[in-house]
């Protein structure tokens, strides 16, 4: 009997997490459904699947049944010059008779890549290279599928697929000087796009950006791994410095001529351009340097005449979005604005008049998925709670709104082209991600990925629920927060607390969604006896413009005040050891964790800063000046809350981590921080990762980083 009792106890005992399991091997990796391409019928989609023998294929599925109805292409067919080509991605032509297959892809910055492209013709199953010579960027079929445009060495090329001729439509492209059809570093990072040319609907014109970055100052960083490290230089405009001069041009394929769009208005940025339903009308969005005014302009692509449509103004800054969408068979368009205090959707006509307010209320619309042919629009919103997201549809004519998703948590959608179906990626803080197919009425069709295997694995381990809570700040406000306690939590004991912060404009760490590897690390720390907490300070998202934009011209002030207030609140709880409260963060969070430790030595005993901004003077123009204006105009705002100017107050334990090849938040930030700390006579710990970028990953890197951070916490918190 005693043997049976021991066996039962052992069988029922749950395991502790290990760092190795969390950060290597993929044991806790949640599966999803990636790489789906909806076909024009709206009834089918395609996806790359692995086959026997290491082969891959693009399979065609039926949305309704999930059955494979055709094989579009397999690697058995994807051969050129006696070699089998890789199949990792693809793009259909609009008529779905051809595919672009990128091979040997190389990353450049956050989004940008270059590769050798091949064209697969589904009719004759031929495989041909797009172009000889150097790799291409952003290869894109014309709407008629008879041409492909691409960028190579900062110039735009067009390949005519019928006669195989290739022409270069720009001549002046030169590295670190002139860019045609692609963005510079700061546009890619901060305006979140990298392909900067666009076909008109009739395929007769291409509108494209030109960046003259000849006067932008260079940033350089060493790339190691060689006897003599490479000195890599690229144009990076820091706050207050000169930006690239940006212009828009329209190339007419039939006339073989280029129209230079003459923008008479004073502007600094062109964050978006987009063709209307009319193939001769192009919209251009321009902004001033402060990003406090955005003008939407209508350009005649033949004459070059310009007509202002609407203007958005703010006392702080105007957000740039991707919601501009033209209603099918109409000149009306959907537009988003925070003018009401929350981000909402509006219907405009080309005269700049509001036809209809589409959404309204004390909540933010957080994504827009487009319209179907009937004039019904689909969007995501934080209407129920800032902590979650739900999917809605709205019929423009009747204003009838329908919530398409259910279940508290976070839902994001990928719609079929016809909007008849959508894939719902759903998770909650304590619920493993699921991928579900629903129809346009919100009815579940089937579960695409339940992550049942991951759930079974997680059930073998000790976990503590992530609990949501609110914390007051000294301004009388309420901050959203979450807490993870040890699974054997005893309210009569005192526990150390680790706070996790990001805190940047419009961000959220307090969200009802699955936290992936960091969540598991927090579970690991809870098993070591720590309480883990995260708080969304003022300046974060989904709570309206006033809450978000209060930090304008003084980033760090209110954010750090709120984190310090939260730590003081936690210190008063009977179960918290007030002398052992630490804070950590990455990027903006590294900036915040440093600032909090330095400004509140009586509150925080420990901090970890990974890839932090240490003074906003070191960061780029578009992001920094959006929230701070320039250093020349607002020097006090820059310096008052820069951690580098508060190092003399350091009393606790501090770990500073950075990648030496960080093209985003430069390693310079940490070097200057180290210099300031040494001059102040302050002891600290630091570590650098050679040739790692802002994400600090690859190979054994993440395991090494999180092991180091864990050891630091165990020793010092």
224-248 burial string, b = 16+ CB within 10 Å, else e? eeeeeeeeeebbbbbbbeebbebeb
Question: How high is the pLDDT of residue 25?
Answer: 85
Say if residue 47's pLDDT is above 90. Answer: yes
Across residues 599-604, what is the average pLDDT?
97
Given 337, 464, 507, 587, the catalytic residue:
587
Distance CA 358, CA 335 (A): 10
Q: For residue 9, is pLDDT > 60?
A: no
Pick from 215, 203, 286, 276: nearest CA to 245: 215
Q: What is the pLDDT of residue 11?
A: 47
Answer whether residue 244 shows pLDDT above 90: yes
Nearest residue to 578 via CA among 603, 608, 606, 607: 603
Residue 12: the pLDDT is 60
User: What angle, 0 to 180 degrees and rounded to 10, lies between the N-to-C axes of helices 516-527 and 701-716?
Assistant: 30
Q: Alpha-carbon distance 206 to 290, whole Å?
A: 30
Alpha-carbon 84 to chain mean position:
33
- Can you give the pLDDT at residue 494? 98
Burial tier of 294 (Cβ tally within 10 Å: 0-12, 13-18, 19+): buried
Q: For the structural domain made of 465-716, what CATH number should be given?
A: 3.40.50.1820
Q: What is the DSSP string of 344-390?
A: EEEEE-TTS-EEEE---SSS-EEEEEEE-TTSEEEEEE--S-TT-BE
Q: What is the pLDDT of residues 467-498, one digit of tens each?
A: 999 999 988 899 999 999 999 999 999 999 99
Q: How far apart are CA 90 and CA 35, in angstroms?
A: 9
pLDDT digits (tens, 9 = 90+) for 356-398: 999 999 999 999 999 999 999 999 999 999 999 999 999 999 9
| Residue 315, number of CB atoms within 10 A of its CB | 7
Q: Whose CA is closest to 152, among 186, 127, 116, 203? A: 116
pLDDT of residue 265: 85
Would you kindly state where each structural domain of the chain is located, as residue ranges?
465-716
Burial of 379 (0-12, 13-18, 19+ CB in 10 A): buried
Measured in degrees and rounded to the nearest 5, phi and psi for residue 281 equal: -120, 125
The DSSP secondary-structure symbol of 351 reads T
pLDDT tens readout for residues 690-715: 999 999 999 999 999 999 999 999 99
Q: Residue 3's pLDDT is what?
A: 31
Say whether 694 is catalytic.
yes
Q: Looking at 44, 344, 646, 694, which residue is catalytic?
A: 694
Instruction: Tell me the pLDDT band of 2, cut-offs 50, 70 and 90.
Output: very low
The single residue of 593, 662, 663, 666 carrying the catalytic annotation is 662
Say whether 587 is catalytic: yes
Average pLDDT of the chain is 95
Q: How do residues 625-656 score in pLDDT, each as one tens digit? A: 999 999 999 999 999 999 999 999 999 999 99
**pLDDT over 60 at 421, yes or no:** yes
pLDDT confidence of residue 354? 96
**SS3 label, residue 101:** strand
Report yes or no: 592 and 563 within 8 Å, Cβ to Cβ: yes
């Amino acid at each position: 009997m005693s043997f049976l009792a021991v066996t039962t106890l052992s069988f029922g005992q749950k395991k502790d997490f290990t760092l190795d399991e969390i950060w290597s091997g993929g044991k806790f990796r949640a599966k999803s459904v990636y790489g789906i391409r909806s076909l024009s019928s709206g009834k089918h989609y395609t996806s790359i699947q692995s086959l026997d023998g290491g082969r891959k294929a693009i399979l065609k599925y039926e949305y309704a049944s999930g059955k494979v109805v055709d094989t579009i292409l397999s690697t058995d067919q994807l051969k050129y010059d006696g070699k089998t080509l890789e199949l990792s991605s693809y793009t259909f032509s609009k008529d779905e008779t051809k595919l672009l297959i990128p091979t040997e892809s190389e990353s450049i910055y956050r989004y940008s890549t270059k590769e050798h492209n091949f064209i697969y013709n589904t009719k004759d199953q031929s495989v041909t290279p797009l172009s000889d010579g150097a790799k291409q960027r952003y290869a894109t079929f014309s709407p008629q599928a008879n041409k492909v445009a691409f960028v190579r060495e900062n110039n735009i090329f067009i390949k005519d697929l019928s006669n195989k001729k290739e022409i270069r439509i720009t001549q002046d492209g030169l590295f670190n000087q002139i860019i045609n059809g692609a963005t510079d570093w700061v546009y890619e990072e901060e305006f979140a796009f990298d392909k900067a040319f666009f076909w008109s609907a009739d395929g007769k014109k291409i509108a494209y950006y030109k960046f003259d970055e000849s006067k932008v100052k260079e940033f350089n960083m060493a790339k190691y791994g060689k006897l003599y490290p490479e000195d890599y230089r690229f144009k990076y405009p820091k706050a207050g410095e000169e930006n690239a001069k940006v212009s828009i041009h329209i190339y007419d394929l039939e006339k073989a001529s280029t129209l230079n769009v003459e923008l008479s208005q004073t502007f600094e940025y062109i964050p978006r351009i987009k063709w209307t339903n009319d193939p001769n009308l192009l919209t251009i969005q321009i902004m001033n340097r402060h990003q406090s005014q955005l003008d939407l302009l209508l350009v005649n692509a033949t004459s070059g005449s310009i007509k202002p449509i609407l203007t958005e103004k703010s006392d702080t800054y105007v957000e740039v979005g991707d919601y501009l969408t033209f209603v099918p068979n109409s000149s009306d368009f959907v537009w988003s604005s925070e003018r009401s205090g929350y981000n909402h959707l509006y219907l405009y006509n080309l005269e700049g008049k509001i036809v209809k307010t589409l959404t309204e209320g004390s909540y933010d619309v957080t994504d827009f998925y487009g319209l179907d042919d009937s004039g019904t629009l689909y969007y995501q919103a934080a209407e129920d709670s800032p902590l979650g997201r739900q999917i809605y549809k709205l019929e423009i004519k009747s204003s009838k709104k329908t919530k398409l998703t259910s279940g508290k948590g976070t839902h994001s959608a990928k719609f079929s082209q016809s909007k008849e179906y959508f894939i719902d990626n759903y998770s909650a803080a304590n619920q493993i991600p699921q991928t579900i197919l629903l129809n346009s009425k919100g009815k579940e069709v089937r579960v695409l990925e339940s992550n049942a295997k991951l759930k079974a694995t997680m059930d073998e381990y000790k976990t503590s629920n992530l609990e949501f809570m609110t914390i007051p700040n000294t301004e009388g406000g309420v901050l959203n927060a979450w807490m993870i306690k040890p699974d054997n939590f005893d309210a009569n004991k005192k526990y150390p607390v680790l706070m996790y912060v990001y805190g940047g404009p419009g961000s959220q760490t307090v969200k009802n969604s699955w936290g992936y590897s960091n969540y598991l690390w927090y579970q690991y720390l809870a098993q070591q006896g720590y309480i883990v907490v995260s708080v969304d300070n003022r300046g974060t998202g989904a709570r309206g413009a006033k809450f978000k934009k209060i930090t304008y011209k003084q980033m760090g002030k209110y954010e750090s005040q709120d984190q310090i207030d939260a730590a003081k609140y936690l210190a008063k709880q009977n179960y918290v050891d007030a002398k052992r409260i630490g804070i950590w963060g990455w990027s903006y969070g590294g900036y915040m964790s440093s600032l909090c430790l330095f400004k509140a030595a009586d509150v925080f005993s420990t901090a970890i800063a990974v890839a932090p901004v240490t003074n906003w003077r070191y960061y780029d123009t578009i992001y920094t000046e959006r929230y701070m204006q320039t250093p020349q105009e607002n020097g006090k705002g820059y310096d008052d809350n820069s951690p580098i100017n508060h190092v003399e107050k350091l009393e606790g334990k501090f770990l500073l981590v950075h990648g030496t090849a960080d093209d985003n938040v430069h390693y310079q930030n940490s070097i200057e921080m180290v210099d300031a700390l040494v001059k102040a006579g302050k002891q600290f710990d630091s570590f650098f990762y050679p040739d790692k970028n802002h994400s600090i990953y690859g190979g054994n890197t993440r395991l090494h980083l999180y092991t180091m951070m864990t050891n630091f916490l165990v020793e010092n918190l």
